Structure 1
Amino acid sequence: MRVPGSPRWAYGTFAWLVFFVVSHVVAVFFPGEDPTGDGPWDLRAYVIFNLVLILMSAVGAAVVVATVRPWGRRVPRWVLLTPLWLGSALLVVRGVPGMVENLLMATGIRRGGFVGAQDISTAELWAGLGINTYFFLGAVLLAMTTVSYVRRSRRDAHG
């Protein structure tokens, strides 16, 4: 698959990251009845986890914008590539297994996905499909943004 060196990928990734930040800000201020999912952590850990995600995503949004704006050319290439590659790797690790889980759930092979809970509701099934698709889309967008930036910045550096 040929990846064009288009800056449009960055704008799609930026929109994805903004939505991610907003959704986690909402989750911090309106955590619901049991935001920890009955896990071994408390509300403070939940809030800290979300704040870390918000910070990482906000920095990621700034990095993505820097790849397509004139002021970003003043930033050393490695400073932008490091978070782009790390973010791509994180989203691929989250997004690709999520899409495999979608296929398992949608085909009925494992209605509860990797966890295998057979008694999930239809709403939980659709929520899982939506969340996994969202992370897969993020993985594709950020990976394409990264490859596009590599190509454009290499071309800019050589002439």
Structure 2
Amino acid sequence: MLLFVVSHVVVVFLPGDDPTGDGPWSFRAYVIFNIVLILMSAVGAAVVVATVRPWGRRVPRWMLLTPLWFGSALLVVRGVPGMVENLLMATGNRGGFVGRDDISTAEFWAGIGINTYFFVGAVLLVVTTVSYVRRSRGAGVRTGRSGPDPV
């Protein structure tokens, strides 16, 4: 997630010639979109850390599970089709879903790398979410204490 945050901070502060890619959105929308992505990723990183740190036990379970499930769903929706596109690209349909055969070698490998990045992120976040669900099941009210209840 740190790589994602850093890459989007860079594109906000060093946007290049035409960061909108001739799309229908303005530069302001481009910046707002990237800031939202940065905030979502930073919160996601904090939530993931909270699942394994002692201070995270003081956070209500639902406050961690909500962003974990939401983030898992987003990454699966982005990562699985991306991996399918990688398979298409690797087996001869160089343009992936779009089907453009005239992409450069740099675009080809960038697409493979970005799609793989999101797929691996999806796998890791789903595993983290399922692990947290299992470890926190039956926790009920969080007290902030660790260890067994006193007898």
Same fold (TM over 0.5): yes
Runs of 4+ residues over 6 Å off in structure 1: none
Task: Give the aligned partner of residue 40 of structure 1.
Answer: 24
SS at match of 2:41: helix
Q: Which one is further off, 40-49 or 147-156? A: 147-156
Task: Give the aligned partner of residue 31 of structure 1.
Answer: 15
Deviations 1:19-53 (A, max 9, x none): 11111101111111221122111211111100000
Superposition deviation, residue 91 in structure 1: 0.3
TM-score, L = length of structure 2: 0.89
Aligned equivalents of 1:62, 1:56: Cα separation in 2: 10
Aligned equivalents of 2:95, 2:35: Cα separation in 1: 28
SS at match of 2:12: helix
Superposed CA RMSD in Å reads 1.2
Higher helix share: 1
Aligned equivalents of 1:155, 1:71: Cα separation in 2: 18
Task: Give the aligned partner of residue 127 of structure 1.
Answer: 110
Aligned equivalents of 1:156, 1:77: Cα separation in 2: 8
Q: Which one of the candidate residues 43, 52, 67 is aligned to 2:36?
A: 52
Structure 2 gap ranges (5+): 141-147
Residues 1-159 of structure 1 aligned to structure 2 (within 5 Å)? 17-108=1-92, 110-154=93-137, 156=139
- Between the aligned residues of both structures, percent identity stands at 84
Give aligned pairs, total. Answer: 141
Q: Which one is further off, 36-45 or 87-96? A: 36-45
Aligned equivalents of 1:85, 1:79: Cα separation in 2: 11
Higher Cα radius of gyration: 2
TM-score, L = length of structure 1: 0.85
Q: Which one is further off, 148-157 or 37-46? A: 148-157
AA at the equivalent of 2:62 = W
Which one has more relative contact order, counting CA pairs under 8 Å at least 6 apart?
1
SS at match of 2:110: helix
